[in-house]
Amino acid sequence: MLEKFFNVKKKEIPGGLWTKCPNCNNAIYTRELNDNLKVCHHCNYHFRLSVQERIDITFDSFEEMFSGILPVDSLNFVDTMPYSERLKEAQSKTLKEEAIIVGEGTIGDRRMAVGILDFDFIGGSMGSVVGEKIFRITNYAREKKLALVLFSSSGGARMQEGMLSLMQMAKTAMAIGKYKENKGLYISVLLHPTTGGVSASFAMLGDVIIAEPGALIGFAGPRVIEQTIRQKLPQGFQRSEYLLEHGMIDAVIERKTIKETLKKLVIWHGY
């Protein structure tokens, strides 16, 4: 209608398209939001980043490793659709093979082994491939004597893989345990949300655990807990600030300073 009455095309509107903040409901220029690392300048809400965006703002260089490990539908699982179809849908949507990318990243002259979960791929859930890639990148960090940095954003274990998924909790914890026995430095970065079997395994095992502001972190979600205990939870319960206040994480770090924080941590610990 605007085009008809004012002869103006949408792409000619100064500043580009708008994005509405789901937290404060303010409209933000999309270009301005992107320039601010997808953080709302009104309320500091941290929008979700893609894996590539996370790599671009955090590392000076990144080389993916252990690609080509593909998930399989071992159980012939069907919910609202066959698991095999759900995998194809997620792969088509994200253009990724699985819910994690691992590799070696650098910040300045500091090398580190890195894993980043992709929430857009079946909720960042941990199936056999995710567990295997974390296992391999952790062993790589141990062999090369690199710091290990894992970014978690997940709904938990992948139910479509059943017990095979739950086994990854023990597998990843075991790999990280051996890495720590060799005096490895594991930095866990918790993003929104980090829940379920991921929070109950490798995500909370960091030597240093940091989180972005406002991230939901816990095993069961607040709604499930309230329904179970039949009580109202405290304001901000399970958010990163609440966990910091109660000693469950070490720091809440703004997105714009995570890169510098990681560099300082690896330097301080001699990596």
CATH number for the domain spanning 247: value is: 3.90.226.10
Q: Please check the confidence at residue 16 and state whether its pLDDT lies above 60.
A: no
**Coil, helix or strand for 251?**
strand
Statement to judge: residues 108 and 23 lie in one domain: no
Give mean pLDDT, residues 222-243: 91
Rg (Cα) of the chain, in Å, rounded? 20
Statement to judge: residues 172 and 188 lie in one domain: yes
Q: What is the DSSP string of 252-270?
A: E--HHHHHHHHHHHHHHTT
Query: Cα separation of 59 and 106, whole Å?
Result: 6
Pairing of strands 18-20, 186-194: unpaired
Would you say residue 119 lies in a domain? yes
Statement to judge: residues 43 and 85 lie in one domain: no
Statement to judge: residues 221 and 149 lie in one domain: yes
Which one is predicted more confidently, 91 or 4?
A: 91
Domain that holds residue 34: 12-47
Q: Please check the confidence at residue 8 and state whether its pLDDT lies above 60.
A: no
Q: Please check the confidence at residue 225 and state whether its pLDDT lies above 70.
A: yes
Statement to judge: residues 177 and 188 lie in one domain: yes
Which is nearest to 137 in space by CA: 181, 104, 108?
104
Query: Cα separation of 124 and 117, whole Å?
Result: 6
- Categorize the per-residue pLDDT at 75 as very low, low, confident or very high, splitting at 50, 70 and 90: very high
For position 216, what pLDDT does the model report? Answer: 96
Statement to judge: residues 91 and 29 lie in one domain: no
Give mean pLDDT, residues 199-224: 95
Statement to judge: residues 166 and 198 lie in one domain: yes
Statement to judge: residues 137 and 25 lie in one domain: no
- CA angle, 264 as apex, 119 and 169 as ends, to 5°? 35
Does the annotation flag 43 for ligand binding?
yes
Would you say residue 195 lies in a domain? yes
Would you say residue 87 lies in a domain? yes
Does the annotation flag 262 for ligand binding?
no
Query: Cα separation of 217 and 156, whole Å?
Result: 11
Contact indicator for 175, 139 with CB cutoff of 8 Å: yes
DSSP designation for 46: B
For position 148, what pLDDT does the model report? Answer: 98
pTM of the model: 0.91
